């Protein structure tokens, strides 16, 4: 049994930190007991408002309603760029590190302003107006951030789609939000390989007649098809365009972006975030959780296609006038020392990555880490999935040389910013625990009856009061938001995660309690993978569950029933994997496909996933209540043929 070590806050860290434990306790108490006072102070100190709000806050979680800073006017791009120009125009805003180690660039706040205003004017000239949706399907290049900020500047709502999604998945997202404009690149570059982004867009747009403009950044100069009138080269469109583009005055509750994420049922949901509350959440957590000080270099390794990239590559750091590093490549290219080389090259002070990357690099041993000095590092962060204590210790001892605290940050696309996390100057660390709530966040654990559990215990993690950066809607389907997050436990936001609280009040996230799988930090709905598998003519039925995977955290285990009389082959397996890649993206391919002559079902025909999960996880001693099974022999067959892991 692994013994959890306690890491108290080192004196040196506490002394120079923005928040020590006394300050944390005082501010936390104020944030929940006097929220009006707390939030108005924070919103005034972190953001610049064109006009003050009329009502600080109004919420009714039982109805899924939340409004923050209503009537207040501000602009996100103004807050992330313009207001910094006078003092910090020449400071680097974005350090870009290319996939190829010989390529990098530095973009100052003044240059950022020039790029964003010109692009905003180009979008306007193509008819994009406040409230219109713009799809961004980009590699990790600065133009991705320019595109997000240009939308924010004119009040357009961006929908960034991760570059790993397939043309079909891209098409569904473009149609769902009715995007008329797409911003993309000819090709992306990752780990020395080219990703055919424009080609994917062309395929997706075959079924999207409303898209009238496709702006294409020239990244590789690879050969691409072109549709005159619709397609424009980004560099040509921006050439000679004016930098005069006054920021749109947005209400704090006007939409800022849509970001699709997977849930337990149906197609992905377009999580909608608004302007004021979201930006405040991103900025505040960036400063306090990462203890960010002026002049420091902050590196979040996420992709801008996920919420972590939105909040901690773009919006949080830029709102705080930070220098943010954007990395195009992957951790193991050209070799497993890449992250650490980049840290030395750009003198990174704060490094924020996912447990799956840490586990993969841990496998390579210490040598690639030790090849770099990492002397600039001061703080480490983890996000996306539970970090196992072994990986935590390696991160702490080897990467951080036992001198850098680790902030294990728990949050979700829907929460907009970090909700449960240590603060480096305040919180003694326990490897594997996300520790305590951030300011204003009131987590609770609920039992099966929906009753709050007091003291130490385990249950479903829910939040009992609104926070500024919470989800406001599911785009085009508000009822779905209420059904998913606010109906199961009326009066609470339901996270979909399970958690344990220990005797010190620390939270330990145990993973999803719904049909969502977290593969290498990528959130995948089992229903999405199943829908892809059953598209194949040879498949009668499919059920997908997660199982523990050493590197990826969770892997995808698919039980597939072929059509009657059909002999399943390895060829069919290959076709099924290709189908999942086509429908979703290759990151969603099952690791294991087991042929299942039958699936365990209740007498009313419902698949009993609970049993399949146990089989996939090799927890065969206790399959739970099997009395409602229509045909118990089905289970034994699956157990006998279960795939070795």
Closest to 307 measured CA to CA, from 263, 267, 351, 259 = 259
The Cα–Cα gap between 423 and 18 comes to 9
Beta strands at 255-261 and 269-274: parallel, antiparallel or unpaired: antiparallel
**Does 484 engage in binding with ligand PRX (CB under 6 A)?**
no
Q: Is 587 helix (H, G, I), strand (E, B) or coil?
A: helix
Identify which range of 129-137, 369-377, 381-389, 612-620 contacts ligand PRX by CB under 6 A: 381-389
Q: Is residue 296 near ligand PRX by the rule CB under 6 A? A: no
* β-strand partners of 461: 445
> CB nearest ligand PRX: which residue?
413
Please indicate if the annotation marks 520 as binding a ligand: yes
DSSP 149-196: HHHHHHTPEEEE--TTS-HHHHHHHHHHHT--EEEEES-EEETTEEE-
Closest separation in Å from C-beta 514 to ligand PRX? 9
Provide the minimum distance between the beta carbon of 432 and ligand PRX in the complex, in angstroms, as a whole number: 9
By CB under 6 A, is residue 519 in contact with ligand PRX?
no
Instruction: Report if residue 496 touches ligand PRX, rule: CB under 6 A.
Output: yes
Distance CA 120, CA 138 (A): 17
Considering only 197, 361, 509, 608, the residue that binds ligand PRX (CB under 6 A) is 509
Contact between 307 and ligand PRX (CB under 6 A)?
yes
Q: Is the dihedral of CA 383, 385, 386, 391 positive or negative?
A: negative
The answer to whether residue 412 forms part of the interface with ligand PRX (CB under 6 A) is yes
Which of residues 296 and 408 has its CB atom nearest to ligand PRX in the complex?
408
Q: From the CB of 418, what's the least distance to ligand PRX, in Å?
A: 8
**136 bridge partner residues:** 160, 183
Nearer to ligand PRX by Cβ, of 275 and 469: the residue is: 469
Q: Which stretch binds ligand PRX (CB under 6 A): 42-50, 157-165, 403-411, 576-584?
A: 403-411
**Residue 409 C-beta: closest distance to ligand PRX, Å:** 5
Stretch that binds ligand PRX, among 39-47, 179-187, 202-210, 493-501 (CB under 6 A): 493-501
Residue 80 binds ligand PRX, judged by CB under 6 A? no
Q: Is 526 assigned to a binding site? A: no
**Count of C-beta atoms within a 10 Å radius of residue 6:** 9
What does the alpha-carbon distance between residue 178 and residue 460 come to, in Å, rounded to a whole number?
35
* The one among 518, 520, 526, 554 contacting ligand PRX by CB under 6 A: 518
> Which residue reads 């090849």 in tokens?
371
Runs of H (alpha helix) within 159-310: 167-177, 197-205, 234-238, 276-289, 307-309
Least distance in Å: CB of 525 to ligand PRX?
A: 11
Measured N-to-C along each axis, helices 109-125 and 142-154 cross at an angle, to the nearest 10 degrees, of 60
Structural tokens at position 268:
């992905």
Q: Which of 523, 536, 552, 614 binds ligand PRX (CB under 6 A)?
A: 523
∠ CA 76-82-88, rounded to 5°:
125
Q: Is 193 annotated as a binding residue?
A: yes
Angle between helices 570-583 and 167-177 (to 10 degrees): 30
In angstroms, rounded to a whole number, what is the distance separating the alpha carbons of residues 276 and 70? 9
- Quick note: the x/- pattern for ligand PRX over 236-265, rule CB under 6 A, is -------------------------x----
Residue 285 in the binding site for ligand PRX (CB under 6 A): no
356 binds ligand PRX (CB under 6 A): no
CB of 385 to ligand PRX, least distance (A): 5
Q: Residue for token digits 């699936």?
A: 599
Determine, following the binding rule CB under 6 A, whether residue 301 of this chain makes contact with ligand PRX. no
408 annotated as a binding-site residue: yes
How far, in Å, CA of 642 to CA of 645, rounded? 9
Interacting residue with ligand PRX among 38, 411, 438, 557 (CB under 6 A): 411
Q: Does 434 bind ligand PRX (CB under 6 A)?
A: yes
588 lines the binding site for ligand PRX (CB under 6 A): no
The region of 28-36, 63-71, 492-500, 576-584 touching ligand PRX under the rule CB under 6 A is 492-500
433 binds ligand PRX (CB under 6 A): no
From 106-114, 147-155, 279-287, 404-412, give the range in contact with ligand PRX by CB under 6 A: 404-412
**Rounded Cα gap, residues 454 and 435, in angstroms:** 17
By CB under 6 A, the residues from 167 to 226 that bind ligand PRX are none
Using the structure block, give the residue that is written with the tokens 């306690």.
Answer: 6
Instruction: Find out whether 396 and 388 touch, Cβ atoms under 8 Å.
Output: no
For residue 400, which of 366, 442, 436 has the smallest C-alpha distance? 366
384 binding ligand PRX? (CB under 6 A): yes
Q: Which stretch binds ligand PRX (CB under 6 A): 93-101, 142-150, 157-165, 402-410?
A: 402-410
Binding of ligand PRX by 336 (CB under 6 A): no
- Residue 329 or 496: the one with the smaller Cβ distance to ligand PRX is 496
Helix/strand/coil (H/E/C) assignment for every residue in 392-460: HHHHHHHHCCCCCCEEEEECCHHHCCCCECCCCCCCCECCCCCECECCCCCEEEECCCCCECCCCEEEE
Nearest to 612 by CA among 556, 543, 519, 523: 543
User: Which residue among 186, 497, 528, 530 contacts ligand PRX (CB under 6 A)?
Assistant: 497
Say how many residues touch ligand PRX, by CB under 6 A: 23
d(CA 140, CA 273): 22
The region of 411-419, 482-490, 595-603, 637-645 touching ligand PRX under the rule CB under 6 A is 411-419
Which residue numbers belong to the known binding site?
190-193, 308, 332, 384-386, 408-413, 497, 512, 520, 523, 534, 536, 539
Bind-site residues for Mg(2+): 534, 536, 539
Annotated binding site for CoA: 190-193, 308, 332, 520
Q: Which residues of the shown chain bind ligand PRX in the complex (CB under 6 A)?
A: 261, 306-308, 383-386, 408-413, 434, 495-497, 509, 511-512, 518, 523
Binding residue positions for ATP? 384-386, 408-413, 497, 512, 523
């Amino acid at each position: 049994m692994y013994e959890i070590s306690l890491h108290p806050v080192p004196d040196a860290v506490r002394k120079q930190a923005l928040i020590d434990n006394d300050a944390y306790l005082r501010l936390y108490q104020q944030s929940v007991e006097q929220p009006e006072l707390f939030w108005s102070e924070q919103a005034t100190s972190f953001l610049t408002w064109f006009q003050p709000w009329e009502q600080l806050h109004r919420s009714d979680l039982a109805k899924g309603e939340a409004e923050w800073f209503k009537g207040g006017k501000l602009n996100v791009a103004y807050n992330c760029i313009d207001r910094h120009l006078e003092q910090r125009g020449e400071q680097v805003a974005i350090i870009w590190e290319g996939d190829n180690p010989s390529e990098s660039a530095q973009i100052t706040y003044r240059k950022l302003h020039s790029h964003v205003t010109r692009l905003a004017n180009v979008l306007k000239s193509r008819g994009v107006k406040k409230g219109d949706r713009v799809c961004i399907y980009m590699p990790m290049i600065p133009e991705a951030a320019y595109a997000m900020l240009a939308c924010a500047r004119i009040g357009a709502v961006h929908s960034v789609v991760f570059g790993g999604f397939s043309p079909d998945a891209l098409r569904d997202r473009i149609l769902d939000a009715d995007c008329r404009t797409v911003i993309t690149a000819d090709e992306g570059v990752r780990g020395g390989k080219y990703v055919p982004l424009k080609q994917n867009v062309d395929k997706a747009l075959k079924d999207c007649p409303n898209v009238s403009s496709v702006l294409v950044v020239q990244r590789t100069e690879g050969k691409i098809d072109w549709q005159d009138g619709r397609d424009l080269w980004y560099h040509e469109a921006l050439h000679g365009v004016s930098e005069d583009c006054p920021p749109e005055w947005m209400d704090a509750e006007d939409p800022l972006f849509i970001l699709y994420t997977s849930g337990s049922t149906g197609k992905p949901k377009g999580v909608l975030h608004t302007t004021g509350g979201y930006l405040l959440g991103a900025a505040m957590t960036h400063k306090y959780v990462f203890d960010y000080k002026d002049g420091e270099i902050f590196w979040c390794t996420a992709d801008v296609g996920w919420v972590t990239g939105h909040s901690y590559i773009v919006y949080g750091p830029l709102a705080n006038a930070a220098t943010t590093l954007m990395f195009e490549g992957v951790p193991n290219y050209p070799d497993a020392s890449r992250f650490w080389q980049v840290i030395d090259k750009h003198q990174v002070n704060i490094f924020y990555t996912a447990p799956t990357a840490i586990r993969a690099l841990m496998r390579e041993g210490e040598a690639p880490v030790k090849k770099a000095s990492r002397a600039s590092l001061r703080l480490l962060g983890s996000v996306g999935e539970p970090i196992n204590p072994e990986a935590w210790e390696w991160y702490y001892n080897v990467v951080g040389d036992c001198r850098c605290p680790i902030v294990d940050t728990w949050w979700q696309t829907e929460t907009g910013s970090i909700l449960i996390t240590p603060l480096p100057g305040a919180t003694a660390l326990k490897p594997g625990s996300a520790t305590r709530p951030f300011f204003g966040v009131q987590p609770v654990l609920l039992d099966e009856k929906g009753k709050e559990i007091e003291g130490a215990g385990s249950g479903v993690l829910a939040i009992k009061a609104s926070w500024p950066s919470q989800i406001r809607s599911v785009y085009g389907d508000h009822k779905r938001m209420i059904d998913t997050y606010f109906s199961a436990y009326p009066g609470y936001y339901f996270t979909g995660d399970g958690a344990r609280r220990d005797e010190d009040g620390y939270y330990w996230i145990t993973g999803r309690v719904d049909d969502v799988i977290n593969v290498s930090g990528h959130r995948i709905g089992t229903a999405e993978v199943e829908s892809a598998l059953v598209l194949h003519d040879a498949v009668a039925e499919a059920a997908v569950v997660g199982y523990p995977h050493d590197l990826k955290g969770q892997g995808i285990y698919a039980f597939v029933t072929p059509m009657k009389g059909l002999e399943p082959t390895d060829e069919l397996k290959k076709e099924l994997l290709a189908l999942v890649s086509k429908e979703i993206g290759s990151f969603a391919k099952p690791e294991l496909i087991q042929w299942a002559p039958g699936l365990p079902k209740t007498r009313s025909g419902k698949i009993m996933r609970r049993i399949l999960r146990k089989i996939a996880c090799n927890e065969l001693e206790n399959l739970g209540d099997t009395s409602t099974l229509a045909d118990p022999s089905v289970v034994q067959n699956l157990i006998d043929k279960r795939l070795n892991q």
